[in-house]
Structure 1
Amino acid sequence: MIVGPYINGSAVFLGGIIGAVLSTRLPERIRLSMPSIFGAASMCMGIVLVVKVVHMPVMVLSVILGSLLGELIYLEKGIGKVGGKAKGLVELLVKPGSSDESAQEQFLHQYVSIIVLFCASGTGIFGSMHEGMTGDTSVLIAKSFLDIFTAAIFATSLGFAVAIIALPQLIIQLALAHGAVYIMPLTTSAMQADFSAVGGVLMFATGFRICGIKMFPVANMIPALVLAMPISAAWVHCF
């Protein structure tokens, strides 16, 4: 029985609720400092995954082609619109909307970043597939510990909209876990390592974005995860 995605989704949901409720009670210094720490943690996790790459050209090519595809289909723009609708829905239920365009833009930047962090991280995707094949929930449980605190911190500034992310995350992880039964037998350890390395690149870029150092178009890089394994297989076959 697959349980990891439910645990991870519950962690994000509870963290989002707790953070939104405690937003006025949490010291400002913590709200300002912790996102940078989470960003640093994301970058470190990304580095750990990247160094496990088997075929460096596969990782580079996957990121480039995947990012190009994401740009062509305006993937980040689409996710931003979904984030804007989610924010509007939450504001109708919880608080009046803001007319400050800069605040709206900042919200979307942060919201897209945490959507990618929660829904499209290499750890979450690999953990879901790993559980689907082996029944081992350890990867997703470890991710849940980080996610509950990350969601709580971001919810202090973004509100209850953070809790909504638990739903698409759960859907994505359940689909991957169930689909892994058919996908994993077709893969090799090298393909899995290359896939994780591409996920690490996304996590590293996400860390930069969360810290506010560089606003990488992380959402547009998501197709790289889809291309990683096919490109890895083709590379081995051709070279």
Structure 2
Amino acid sequence: MWAVIVNTIAIIAGTTVGLLLRRGLPDSITDAVMKALGLCTIVIGIQGTIVEQNILLLIVATVIGVAIGEAGDIDGHVNRWTEKLTSRFTGAGEGAKVANAFITSCLIMNVGAMTIVGSLDAGLVGDFDMLYTKSLLDFVAGIMMGAALGVGVYGSAVFTLVFQGAIVLAAGFVAPFASDALIAELSTCGSIMILALGLNMVDLTKFKVLNYLPALIVVPFALWAFQAAGLA
């Protein structure tokens, strides 16, 4: 768990630096930084999808997942809950901005192969190298997102602690099922969400990104079905 704690501290430290920089920046620069971060996020999403994977499986999992997400209005519920919670501390006008910062930073920092594989390595064999590397990357990301998005990025530190900590603690149970094929498909599926998030950040689209999260749950079942049918 130590590596997860280090990762959490790195996010808090990076966000703090970003907020200090944000204070002296005019809105035009903050907006430009936000757009630049969005473009970088798009590139990260594209890179994550250009890997060897079963495209049909990816389509099936994504379509089923987003259908479930839309039916349950996950994005709407999470946004409303987060905005309501943060409005108690920041005022109604700032609640939506904090909620957006929280959701955006959580997705960027936690949807990817490095999170899954790094946490499994830490829990199974005590290898913290990947999570330490991720901590450095998240520190830099925290600076950029803190400057561009504001105080809501702090929330991603708590989410990272809980999410990665849960994977580390459950590593012994999860590992037998976490094949290379499954991790690759999960990473690619997550990269689609990262790409959608980046497009939202540059105001090209209005994807309800959280409604795509159920696809990550569908992926293991879709992979099992495809393997049973000889399609993967």
Q: TM-score range by the shorter chain?
A: 0.7 to 0.9
- 1:224 pairs with one of 202, 215, 220: 215
1:68 corresponding residue in structure 2:
67
Mapped pair 1:180 → 2:171 = yes
Q: Which amino acid is 1:129 matched to?
A: L
For the aligned residue pairs, the C-alpha RMSD in angstroms reads 2.6
C-alpha distance after superposition, 1:56-102 (max 9, x if no partner): 111111111111111122211222123213422442xxxxx254xxx
Name structure 2 gaps, 5 residues minimum: none
2:144 corresponding residue in structure 1:
153
Within 5 A, what are the aligned runs for 1:116-195? 116-156=107-147, 158-195=149-186
Whole-angstrom CA distance in 2 between matches of 1:157 and 1:34: 6
Name structure 1 gaps, 5 residues minimum: 92-96
Whole-angstrom CA distance in 1 between matches of 2:43 and 2:100: 21
Mapped pair 1:11 → 2:10 = yes
1:58 corresponding residue in structure 2:
57
TM normalised by structure 1 equals 0.82
Q: Which amino acid is 1:26 matched to?
A: L
Provide the aligned length of Structure 1 versus Structure 2. 230
What percentage of aligned pairs have identical amino acids? 21
Displacement after TM superposition at 1:43 (Å)? 2.4
The ranges of structure 1 where at least 4 consecutive aligned residues each deviate by more than 6 angstroms after the TM superposition are none
1:94 corresponding residue in structure 2:
none
Mapped pair 1:205 → 2:196 = yes
Whole-angstrom CA distance in 1 between matches of 2:69 and 2:21: 36
C-alpha distance after superposition, 1:25-84 (max 9, x if no partner): 235454222222322222222223222242111111111111111112221122212321
Displacement after TM superposition at 1:231 (Å)? 1.2
